[in-house]
């Protein structure tokens, strides 16, 4: 059952690295779980126009090394897209909000869409084809309907996605996000993905630090809190289960860079 014990957490100044201090003090005791959009990279007008800051991949590589490999990405993106975005890295990663996963040993649990789901995606593209500004993002085993460039279409998209969800059936759920509605596999979420990583080397025996910016990240915040770890929300103060809030992806990137190079 969903928990509702959200608050605003402790809102930190951009330069306050207090919740990340354990990564320096006890790097063999902690594992780091990082969301991508709105956390490692700034939000952009379209899914394909995000920019990876120069040096970010070097920072992530160095941090992963410092943590003995216990660093994973946990994203709503599909694995191939995230890999292409952060190339040449091939970090442990959970994609599609936890439904697909690549472990530290390189083995992959992928999601192969049923033919009926492929038909559903094509139908969504057709229905919205002349809705200026609406983007249907085909993510293989999930599909996102973006209205950042067409906020006036939100209500219509809500109706279309509700109908599509009921057609997709109980194996799928609706994921709300920032100016986006998604239909994704229901069998996992970001919390269960973090839990799965923590049952495997090199994550096992460590405490999680979960960092994210959106509704989908609340499941991993709750899991991290219950597991005795830390949780950090990125962005403007919001209702969240996270213990801390940092104001922006840039503040997080600077903090990660300082820790990686210390």
Contacts with ligand L263DTV3, residue ranges (CB under 6 A): 35-38, 43-47, 50, 75-77, 137, 139, 144, 146, 148, 177-180, 182, 214, 216
Residue 144 interacts, among ligand L263DTV3, Mg ion, none and using kind-specific CB cut-offs from 5 to 8 Å, with ligand L263DTV3
CB closer to ligand L263DTV3, 28 vs 236 = 236
CB closer to ligand L263DTV3 out of 202 and 249 = 249
Catalytic residue (one of 5, 28, 35, 239): 35
| Catalytic status, residue 37 | no
**Is the omega angle on the peptide bond into residue 77 within 30 degrees of 0, that is, cis?**
no
Residue 58 tokens read as 């070097």
CB of 38 to Mg ion, least distance (A): 4
Distance in Å, CB of 254 to ligand L263DTV3, minimum: 19
Q: Quick one: 31 or 135, whose CB is closer to ligand L263DTV3?
A: 135
CB neighbour class for 241 (10 Å; exposed up to 12, middle 13-18, buried from 19): buried
Residue 254: HSE in the Cβ half-sphere, 13 Å Cα cutoff: 11
Name the residue nearer to ligand L263DTV3 (CB basis): 78 or 227. 78
Q: Which does 249 bind (CB under 5 to 8 A by kind): ligand L263DTV3, Mg ion, none?
A: none
CB of 170 to ligand L263DTV3, least distance (A): 21
Structure tokens at 43: 């939000």
Closer of 149 and 166 to ligand L263DTV3 (Cβ): 149
Name the token pair of 121: 């995606």
Instruction: Order across the sheet with 143-146: list the strands.
Output: 135-138, 143-146, 180-185, 172-177
In the complex, minimum distance from the CB of residue 35 to ligand L263DTV3, in angstroms, rounded to a whole number: 5
Partner from ligand L263DTV3, Mg ion, none binding residue 47, C-beta < 5-8 Å depending on class: ligand L263DTV3
Q: Could you give the residue numbers annotated as active site?
A: 35
């Amino acid at each position: 059952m969903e928990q509702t014990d959200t608050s605003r957490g402790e809102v930190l100044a951009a330069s306050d690295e207090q919740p990340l201090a354990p990564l320096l003090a006890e790097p063999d005791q902690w594992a780091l779980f990082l969301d991508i959009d709105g956390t490692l990279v700034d939000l952009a007008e379209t899914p394909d126009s995000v920019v990876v800051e120069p040096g970010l991949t070097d920072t992530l590589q160095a941090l992963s090394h410092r943590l003995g490999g216990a660093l994973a990405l946990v994203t709503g993106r599909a694995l191939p897209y995230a890999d292409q975005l952060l190339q040449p890295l091939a970090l442990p990663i959970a994609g599609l909000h936890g439904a697909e996963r690549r472990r530290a040993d390189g083995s992959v649990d992928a999601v192969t869409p049923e033919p009926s789901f492929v038909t559903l995606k094509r139908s969504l593209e057709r229905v919205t084809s002349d809705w200026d500004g609406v983007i249907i993002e085909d993510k293989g085993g999930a599909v996102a309907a973006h209205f950042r460039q067409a906020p006036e279409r939100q209500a219509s998209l809500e109706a279309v996605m509700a109908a599509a969800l009921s057609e997709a059936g109980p194996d799928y759920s609706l994921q709300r996000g920032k100016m986006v509605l998604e239909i994704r596999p229901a069998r996992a979420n970001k919390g269960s993905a973090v839990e799965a990583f923590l049952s495997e080397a090199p994550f096992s025996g460590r405490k999680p630090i979960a960092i994210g910016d959106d509704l989908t990240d609340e499941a991993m915040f709750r899991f991290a809190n219950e597991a005795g770890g830390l949780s950090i929300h990125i962005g403007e103060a919001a209702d969240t289960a996270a213990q801390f809030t940092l104001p922006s992806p840039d503040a997080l990137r600077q903090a990660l860079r300082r820790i990686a190079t210390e």
